[in-house]
Amino acid sequence: MMYKLLATSLVFTSLAAAAQPEFYKGADISLLQTIEDCGGVYKADGRARDPLLIFKNNGCNAMRIRLFHTPTGESPRVNSLDYTRKLGRRIKDAGLQLMLDIHYSDTWADPGNQQKPAAWEDLSFEELVKAVRDYTEEVIVKMCEAGADPDWVQVGNEIAPGMLWPDGRVGTPEQWKKLATLLKAGIDGVHAGRGDRSMRTIIHLHSGGSPQQTARYFDSMKKHNVNYDIIGLSYYPWWHSRGLGFEPLQENLKAITERFTNDIMVVETAYPWYPNCDDPTRLLHKKERRPLIPGLPASKEGQKEYLEQIIKVSREAPKGRCIGLFYWAPEYIPAPRLHPGRGHLSLFDQEGNVLPGMNAFRK
């Protein structure tokens, strides 16, 4: 009888574990191959290691990489389709999930810059819509042919103000309609290219600390029948916390869960492990000192605690609807032939040694 009770208990425990949705923990490592090619070396326990295995051994199960249309090839604008296919294949071969972030630009696309590719500058709107759809399908097909099947695809990067300016810049009702048309074209391209593979689409905003902006944007997506899968958010405390720590993100996750049915991912976040100015409670950006999380200074332990806490906040979102978190630029270390900058945000020190913050992914 005791054996039967134990067996029954084990069955229920196994079922409960199987029913628990997986939480994806990872990082955007888009510059990794370039840094290595320029002589950068990543280390654990004082020895050179494959950085993907360092991430994996510390609890990461996914990686994110960006894609530019026709980049210059000069760091950090190296993310051509050929480069991205090779890095994507390496990620998949390491047994990690892959998020592909399509910028629809030859350079960085973000809230202040959504410049369309030079190859598309003279297209009419109808031609631009077709170009987005065909290009996206081609990208997905070629990624899959390379053995770099994306598990998630971002159709645009931080596109709260729209994408492919001026055509897809938001403001008037007509502009919102045009943006929706471009997004539908990109999403159609993902579905056309994926065949029978499982692949989820993401719309990504920078508004991780603004429930109002997030609601307004995705209300418009609903109005225009844009059928995406996941709401992606950026949350950088020096931009989004307003000195309130994690509260703005918590409020946004709660509001999204109450208003929409989509899953959520925090697809970008970061925290400094050393101060880049004379005040460890602030981060210097374009000559402006912006506040960090109160009580978490720019230090190795501050970085680790920040990452532990934001993972906890994300995992504890209502109904388990936040399904993942990705750290941005953890690979930015100096190399003999390249200094990429932003080293204060890396998860490795200046010599390439893994920092304590990496351990947060084990939580």
251 included as an active-site residue: no
Contact 338, 77 (CB under 8 A): no
Contact 309, 274 (CB under 8 A): no
Q: Fill in the DSSP letter of residue 116.
A: P
Pair of tokens at residue 100: 């592909």
Is the four-CA dihedral 139, 144, 145, 148 of positive or negative sign? positive
Kindly name the residue from 137, 268, 305, 331 that is annotated as catalytic: 268
Kindly name the residue from 137, 158, 305, 331 that is annotated as catalytic: 158
Q: Which amino acid is at 216?
A: R
351 included as an active-site residue: no
Phi, psi for residue 291 in degrees, rounded to 5: -75, 140
| Residue 75 to residue 71: CA distance in whole angstroms | 10
Phi, psi for residue 28 in degrees, rounded to 5: -85, 115
Contact 49, 43 (CB under 8 A): yes
Catalytic residue annotation: 158, 268
